Amino acid sequence: MSATSLQGSGTGEGMAMPWLASYPLQVDGATPIDVKPVYALLDDSAAAHPNNDCIDFLDKHYSYAEVKRESDKVAKGLQQIGLKPGMRLGLFLPNCPYFVIFYHGALKAGATLVNFNPLYAEPEIERQIADAEVDFMVTLDVTQLLPKLDAVLAKSRVKSVIVCPMAHQLPFPKNLVYPFVMRSAHARMPVDSRHIAYKDLVHNDGAYAPVEIDPQSTVALLQYTGGTTGVPKGAMLSHANVYVNAIQSKRWFYTVDNPKSKTVGVLPLFHAFAMTCVMNWTLSVGGSMILEPKFDTLRLLRLIHAKRPTALIGVPTLFNALLNFPQFKDFDLSSLIFAISGGAPLPAEVRKKFEEESGCRLIEGYGLSEASPVCSCNPVHTGGKAGSIGLPYPFTACEIISLEDGKTPVPVGEKGEICFRGPQVMLGYWKRPDATAEVIKDGRLHTGDVGHIDEEGFVFITDRLKEMINASGFKVYPRVIEEAIYEHPAVKECAVIGIDDPYRGQTIKAFIVLKDGMSCNQEAMDAFLESRLSKIEKPRFYDFRADLPKSIIGKILKKNLVDEEKARAANKEKSQ
């Protein structure tokens, strides 16, 4: 295992960094980070706190010593079945202890990890296996996963599938009754040479052969993302990228930097946000992660009330769902030191109401898979500024680049494309040099988001470049409109898009979900927005519906809404 020191290379030395003066005194933005392979996050905490809880999964507790020991056995088992450094191993798993164990065990064996969304359909699994050139896969013996993977196995290059028993993760007596009570959910592992049972893989002493890793150049992860260019591709994240982002988070979230902390892990760990801010950050402080396999509003509120976690990581729709739960105020959330929102813009009204009704500070941060993923966050001691994505992380620089030429930095306060430099920025896209060149220019990562930096270094997003609406030659930003709509007391969720208009080029359509038992119509919403938006910004069309399309982490999928509108327009044209 090799380690290097990181100070500030690649973060834009010589440029103005007003955010440094706004750092809390407790945040260390100067001491070099001793960069290590990612699995050192687990091993170092296991050495310091072997008997502390590492994972709480459905009331079964795993100590740091147990998780490390299992990861060592996984590493040796993988090497014994032929995994060589640089081979790709796919994780087709929901949140569970196996995810943490295989994530760090496979890295110890020298693998490059590839995360798969458990909701993927067979064609998506097949495409990602082929693109990433995956050699091994890991999954559970459940009907939602194993049959889908087996359906593509014959057509894929995968050498072996490691099948983990769901029942093995459950506490007594659930582990005994699971095969009978949940018979319909259990999938039998085929008995053939391409399937390996977990118990057989880890039937060893854990003495794996150490692999030489250069943290700066060795790829730890291919994190698939639509990214800034729309087409799914693998962001190559090095060990340094991922490890540093965890340590940056440890320094930033200093108020829970202790082994007594508990983090709620309801966001899927295969997503970069949860990978860093739930799993790797928690490991870095020696804390405990309370893993939930899926989000359920009532179950999450009961969990917080009973298990007294210190941090909750979520997306805006999660906090909105909690707020709109009828018995929300019946649950005690006072153990939470803070909650972190990321993955999508946090509406000001959602933040304000959540803080008022829960007593918990809700902090907005910002990141993208191409940056491991966190680039900036509001300070934890104050919550920062409403509407801001916060200050750039330690050793991270933010530049606002001209929308006109795409390369000239603009002065403080002026609008442009938000770009970041820092040690967490990816090496590039897997097998996509052209796509890499589109987003990494002169060492800075172009995010595709539009915004500005204020005099104190706080970064504000106006909107996505690709979501910007061009109405009669005027640039209209959906986020501005959405913020205004969210101020209406009857609105639960909303999304704004541009639709084709033969006269204006594009016009504005708002999709709105109302709170239970409340009503509103187009006329009432028009009147409400009259004093809040200009005539150009006001939606021309409204669609009040029961729900909005969302990703597995709860992000509203505007692309689906755009596709709906295009299909509707095409059908209308055919019928005329």
SS (H, E, C) 458-515: CEEEEEECCCCEEECCEEECHHHHHHHHHCCCCEEEEEEEEEEECCCEEEEEEEEEEC
- Asked whether residue 4 carries a pLDDT value surpassing 60, the answer given is no
User: Helix axis angle, 40-48 relative to 64-80, nearest 10°?
Assistant: 140
pLDDT tens by residue, 506-533? 899 999 999 999 999 999 999 999 999 9
| pLDDT at position 469 | 86
The dihedral over CA atoms of 412, 416, 417, 423, expressed in degrees to the nearest 10, equals: -10
Which ranges in 324-477 belong to alpha helices (H)?
Answer: 348-358, 433-439
**Cα separation values, 295 from 95, 182, 522, 553, 563, Å:** 11, 19, 32, 9, 27
In the predicted model, what is the mean pLDDT of residues 383-387? 93
Helix, strand, coil percent values for the chain (each to nearest 5): 35, 25, 40
Contact 563, 499 (CB under 8 A): no
Q: Which of 434, 433, 402, 437 is nearest to 419 (CA)?
A: 402
Q: How far apart are CA 225 and CA 369, in angstroms?
A: 7
Q: Which of 359, 318, 275, 297 is nearest to 91 (CA)?
A: 275
Tell how strand 53-57 and strand 288-291 pair up: parallel
pLDDT tens by residue, 16-32? 799 999 999 999 999 99
| pLDDT at position 176 | 76
Q: Say how many CA atoms lie within 13 Å of 284 toward its Cβ.
A: 28
**What DSSP letter does each residue of 374-397 carry, written as one string?**
EEEE--TTT---TTEEEEEPTT-E
Two structure tokens written together for 149: 């993977």
**What DSSP letter does each residue of 245-264 carry, written as one string?**
HHHHHHHHTGGG-STT-EEE
Top pLDDT among 502 and 100 is at 100
Q: How far apart are CA 145 and CA 164, in angstroms?
A: 11
CA of residue 506 relative to chain centroid, distance: 31
| pLDDT at position 451 | 94
Phi, psi of 520, rounded to the nearest 5 degrees: -170, 155
DSSP state of 278: I
Per the prediction, the chain carries an average pLDDT of: 92
Contact 100, 108 (CB under 8 A): no
Top pLDDT among 484 and 4 is at 484
Tell how strand 474-476 and strand 491-501 pair up: unpaired
CA of residue 92 relative to chain centroid, distance: 16
Using DSSP, state whether 183 is helix, strand or coil. helix
Contact 372, 272 (CB under 8 A): yes
In the predicted model, what is the mean pLDDT of residues 44-55? 97
In the predicted model, what is the mean pLDDT of residues 388-396? 97
pLDDT tens by residue, 437-493? 999 999 999 999 999 999 999 999 987 777 878 776 677 888 889 999 999 999 999
| pLDDT at position 230 | 53
- Asked whether residue 2 carries a pLDDT value surpassing 70, the answer given is no
- Asked whether residue 7 carries a pLDDT value surpassing 80, the answer given is no
Two structure tokens written together for 548: 């909005």
Q: Which of 434, 442, 398 is nearest to 416 (CA)?
A: 398
Q: Which of 289, 235, 247 is nearest to 38 (CA)?
A: 247
531, burial (CB in 10 Å: exposed 0-12, middle 13-18, buried 19+): exposed
Spatial CB neighbours of 197, under 8 Å, sequence gap ≥ 6:
162, 163, 165, 189
The CATH number for 469-575, chosen from 3.40.640.10, 3.40.50.300, 3.30.70.20, 3.30.300.30, is 3.30.300.30
What pairs with residue 229 in β-bridges? Answer: none
- Asked whether residue 229 carries a pLDDT value surpassing 70, the answer given is no
Q: How far apart are CA 268 and CA 99, in angstroms?
A: 10
Give percent of the chain with pLDDT exceeding 70: 95
| pLDDT at position 68 | 98
Cis bond leading into 97, ω under 30°? no
**Cα separation values, 502 from 60, 265, 470, 505, Å:** 60, 47, 12, 6
**Cα separation values, 139 from 82, 98, 330, 526, Å:** 18, 9, 38, 50
In the predicted model, what is the mean pLDDT of residues 132-156? 96
Amino acid at 139: T
| pLDDT at position 464 | 74
Among 292-306, 501-515, 539-553, the range scoring the smallest mean pLDDT is 501-515
Domain 9-37+238-426+447-464, classified CATH 3.40.30.10, yes or no? no
Q: Please give the helix or strand (H or E) that residue 461 lies within, else none.
A: strand 459-464
Among 311-315, 386-390, 503-507, 535-539, the range scoring the smallest mean pLDDT is 503-507
DSSP state of 48: H
Two structure tokens written together for 85: 């450094």
Contact 251, 531 (CB under 8 A): no
Q: Is 255 left (phi over 0), alpha (psi -120 to 50) or beta?
A: alpha
The residue extents of the domains of the chain are 9-37+238-426+447-464, 469-575
| pLDDT at position 175 | 77
Q: How far apart are CA 35 and CA 503, in angstroms?
A: 56
- Asked whether residue 3 carries a pLDDT value surpassing 50, the answer given is no
Two structure tokens written together for 125: 């699994």
Top pLDDT among 344 and 450 is at 450
Using DSSP, state whether 112 is helix, strand or coil. strand
Q: Where residue 416 falls among pLDDT bands split at 50, 70, 90?
A: very high
Contact 359, 329 (CB under 8 A): no
